[in-house]
Amino acid sequence: MIAELPSIAQARTGGELRVGDDSMPAMALEKSPLHIAALADQCVQCGLCLPVCPTYALDRSESESPRGRIAIAAALARGEAEPTAALRSHLDHCLGCLGCERVCPAQVRYGELLVETRALIGPSPQRPRLLLEAIRRPALLQAIRRAAKLLGWPRWKPTLLRALSPGSAWRAGLALLPADRTEHADAASLALASPDGEGELLALFPGCVASVEDAEAQAAAQRLLQAAGYRVIQLPAFCCGALDLHAGAAEAAASAAQRVRDAWQRSGATQLLSVTPGCLGSLRQALPEAKVADPYALLAARVDRLHFRALPERVALQVPCTQANVARSEHALLELLRRIPGLELQRLGTPPYCCGAAGSHLLEFPERAAALRAPMLARLDALAPQRWLSSNIGCRLHLAAGLEAEGKHWPHAHPLSLLAQQLESPASSPEPP
């Protein structure tokens, strides 16, 4: 298929647009067939992306590879193909892990190309809108959590999941709702008042699912950053728009981006941080002039101010795709964890190693997500850790659901939660919930 496609250069008109042209704002390029064609034309079809592509590893199909999807995007942009269900499924299957972008010698901006192509053809009609609406709303998600506890969810969960098809989005969504009785802090109660002091002011973005299921990590980040000498405020909890951006729902993504900009402008902070690397891409698109990152590099830069108690445990670490390929903070994270005396750290997976969660992918394609997850579960089983860590809440819930289905219940946490737990002089900082 790729060899038969004409050169994308034929889609250009008089050299009016060049890839990376700064004369047009990012949002103005959205859904532009000409821009999609120009991005696709950067691909030299070398195939170096294939060994790091999780979906190519799963299917061994060129259409399920980055260069295959680039060819599909080019054909759609030039009007040489229609977005049939069969054709668009290859685009929808993409996890957006960006392993391909990291190894590409031609520096193809594959993530940008994927987002714009999905915006061009629009969201999939099979998208589980009701489930996604619940995920986007922290207050609703918190209410569901409380209702599940009152109704005795742990007793009903196995029976209900068995009654639903393995390919059901509802089954996949309900499987993520933990069966444990762990209390989750209300993100709104964790917001800090404007802090006093002289340190650099940072704003922490809680997100949607993470604000509920990873509230402990939000508090841990605040504690660690304050111990390192920073001042921290927390923005309101809402969806950054990543779920819509990566699904092709351009208008909803633009609305979320505006909400991010409004909250950021009111903060007065110098940097915006997220404990969930899955939010970083959309936050950076919303705030192209701002510094947007996860906390690890800032903490690593002042690691001499942080002292950790010993923890003689065997711990497995999952580095999410977005942390490795978007945040690119894995080395800073490893440096911090290795400061904990006695910690035996084992990393899960090397490329292609995506767990299959990938935002809403685990809801839209639960059987594919389970197949991508299986090797990582096998690796966890082989390591038999005393606990395991992941910084992306979607990955962690997805992996935990798989372990629960196998009758395994190793404790899991966000890396920041473990670091805050082992931080010395706890009396000097507020305790995480």
What would the mean pLDDT of 141-158 be, rounded to a whole number?
Answer: 88
Phi-psi region of 248 (alpha: psi -120 to 50; beta: other; left: phi over 0): left
Per-residue pLDDT of 349-391, as tens digits, reads 776 779 999 999 999 999 999 999 999 999 999 999 999 999 9
- Measured CA distances, 280 to 215, 285, 291 (Å): 17, 9, 11
Per-residue pLDDT of 412-425, as tens digits, reads 999 999 999 999 97
CA proximity to 97, closest of 136, 129, 124, 57 = 57
pLDDT at 149: 86
Q: Is residue 358 part of a domain?
A: yes
Least confident of 13-27, 279-293, 327-341: 13-27
Q: Is residue 51 part of a domain?
A: yes
> Which residues constitute the domain of residue 84?
8-121
Check whether 179 has a pLDDT greater than 80. Answer: no
For residue 421, give both structure tokens.
Answer: 């737990």
Least confident of 120-134, 173-187, 260-274, 301-315: 173-187
Instruction: Out of 121, 136, 168, pick the residue that ends a domain.
Output: 121
Q: Is residue 141 part of a domain?
A: no
Check whether 24 has a pLDDT greater than 60. Answer: no
Q: Greater confidence, 206 or 192? A: 206
Q: What is the DSSP letter of 194?
A: P
Q: Is residue 341 part of a domain?
A: yes
Q: Give the CATH number of the domain where residue 69 resides.
A: 1.10.1060.10
Q: Is residue 127 part of a domain?
A: no
Q: Is residue 428 part of a domain?
A: no
3-state class percentages of the chain: helix first, strand second, coil last, to nearest 5: 55, 5, 40
* Rg, C-alpha atoms of the chain: 22
Q: Is residue 108 part of a domain?
A: yes
Q: Is residue 247 part of a domain?
A: no
Instruction: Out of 121, 154, 181, pick the residue that ends a domain.
Output: 121
Q: Give the CATH number of the domain where residue 363 resides.
A: 3.40.50.2300
CA proximity to 230, closest of 137, 132, 298, 328 = 298
Per-residue pLDDT of 315-344, as tens digits, reads 999 999 999 999 999 999 999 999 999 999
pLDDT tier at 54, thresholds 50, 70, 90: very high
What would the mean pLDDT of 291-300 be, rounded to a whole number?
Answer: 96
Instruction: Out of 91, 121, 151, pick the residue that ends a domain.
Output: 121
Number of domains in the chain: 2
Q: Can you say whether the dihedral through the CA atoms of 149, 153, 154, 155 is positive or negative?
A: positive
